[in-house]
């Protein structure tokens, strides 16, 4: 019962209080909805464009997830290379940090020109580019900081590097990996929407946001933002569930 209160009621209560405060702020300042839409404006907006929200929301969601999967694959492979080889770590860190420091909004036109017309691919690529960094770093650090004794207990029995990776290094890195994945999930949404808004091509929530802007439908713009937030929260909790399944052992009971 306590668990249900903590896990469900507390966050929902926080959300309700947040919306009430928001509504109150708009009401007390008497802001028109083109300055700041209030939560009560959002319902009608969602209802009016409900089919577009479903369709475009799906576009944004699958592109984000595809970008994330790409980021995981790339991040794990590069992280492994960097985790196991000091030389590769020294070689690749400046490159990765440099690439990550580039504002991704500036990459949008470059990618759009490079792969003209490949809107799905472009969007997935941007979600990937913005989210692979934390995954790569977490895997690389997880592997390179593995205490030598962990390796030695298996190496002294003649186990191969692959066995050591599978039995020890990989599971030991999982908690850090999931921590990074939580960061990557929210980043990936930013990537997807950046491409959808800056290079609109008629699909995705980013496009819906853009249409709202063009037609001066401010409540619609806010509704898109909220839809994105809800999807972000949803995907975040998917990661939390996966973490519980695969790395639940790392969680200590509060005592």
Partner 1 sequence: MSSDALIRISDVKHTFHTNAGPLPVLDGLNVEIEKGGFTAVVGPSGCGKSTLTRLIAGLLFPDEGDVILNGEQVRSPRSTVGMAFQNPVLLEWRTILDNVCLPLEIVPNDLTRKQRDARGYELLAMVGLEGFEDKKPSELSGGMRQRASLCRALAHRPEVLILDEPFGALDAFTREDLWQIMHELRHAEAFTCLLITHDLRESVFLADQVVVLSGRPAKTQYVLDVPFGRDRVLDDLFTAEATEMLRDLRHQIQVAQGRTVEETESAA
| Residue among 95, 86, 85, 97 nearest 134 (CA) | 97
Distance CA 111, CA 170 (A): 33
Minimum separation from the CB atom of position 85 to partner 1 (A): 17
CB-nearer residue toward partner 1: 88 or 168: 168
Minimum separation from the CB atom of position 61 to partner 1 (A): 31
Token code pair at residue 120: 């799905």
**What's the burial of 168, exposed, middle or buried (CB within 10 Å: 0-12/13-18/19+)?**
middle
CB-nearer residue toward partner 1: 195 or 247: 247
Minimum separation from the CB atom of position 179 to partner 1 (A): 16
* Residue 86 CB coordination number (10 Å): 10
CB-nearer residue toward partner 1: 131 or 173: 173
Which residues bind to partner 1, rule: CB under 8 A? 147, 149-150, 152-159, 163, 167-168, 171-172, 174, 247, 249-250, 252
**87-117: string of b/e by CB count within 10 Å (b at 16+)?**
eebeebeeebeeeeeeebeebbeebbeeeee
CB-nearer residue toward partner 1: 48 or 167: 167
Minimum separation from the CB atom of position 218 to partner 1 (A): 50
> CB-side exposure of 215: number of CA atoms within 13 Å?
9
Minimum separation from the CB atom of position 8 to partner 1 (A): 27
What would the DSSP string read from start to end of 87-99? HHHHHHHHHHHHH
DSSP letter (8 states) at residue 158: T
Minimum separation from the CB atom of position 174 to partner 1 (A): 8
CB-nearer residue toward partner 1: 51 or 249: 249
Token code pair at residue 136: 């790569």
Token code pair at residue 94: 């400046």
């Amino acid at each position: 019962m306590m668990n249900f209160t903590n896990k469900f009621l507390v966050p929902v209560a926080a959300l309700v209080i947040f919306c009430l405060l928001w509504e109150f702020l708009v009401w007390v300042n008497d802001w028109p909805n083109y300055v700041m839409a209030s939560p009560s404006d959002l319902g009608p907006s969602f209802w009016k464009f409900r089919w577009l929200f479903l369709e475009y929301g799906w576009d944004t969601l699958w592109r984000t997830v595809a970008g994330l999967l790409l980021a995981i694959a790339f991040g794990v492979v590069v992280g492994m290379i960097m985790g196991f080889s000091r030389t590769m770590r020294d070689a690749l860190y400046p490159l990765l940090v440099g690439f990550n420091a580039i504002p991704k909004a500036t990459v949008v036109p470059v990618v759009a020109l490079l792969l003209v017309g490949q809107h799905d691919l472009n969007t997935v690529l941007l979600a990937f580019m913005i989210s692979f960094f934390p995954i790569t770093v977490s895997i690389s650090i997880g592997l390179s900081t593995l205490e030598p004794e962990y390796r030695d207990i298996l190496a002294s029995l003649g186990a191969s590097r692959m066995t050591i990776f599978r039995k020890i290094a990989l599971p030991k890195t999982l908690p850090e990996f999931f921590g990074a994945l939580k960061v990557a999930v929210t980043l990936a949404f930013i990537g997807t929407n950046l491409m959808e808004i800056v290079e609109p091509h008629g699909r995705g929530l980013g496009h819906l946001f853009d249409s709202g802007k063009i037609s001066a439908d401010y409540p619609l713009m806010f509704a898109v933002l909220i839809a994105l937030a809800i999807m972000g929260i949803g995907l975040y909790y998917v990661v939390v569930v996966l973490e519980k399944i695969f790395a639940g052992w790392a969680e200590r009971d509060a005592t």
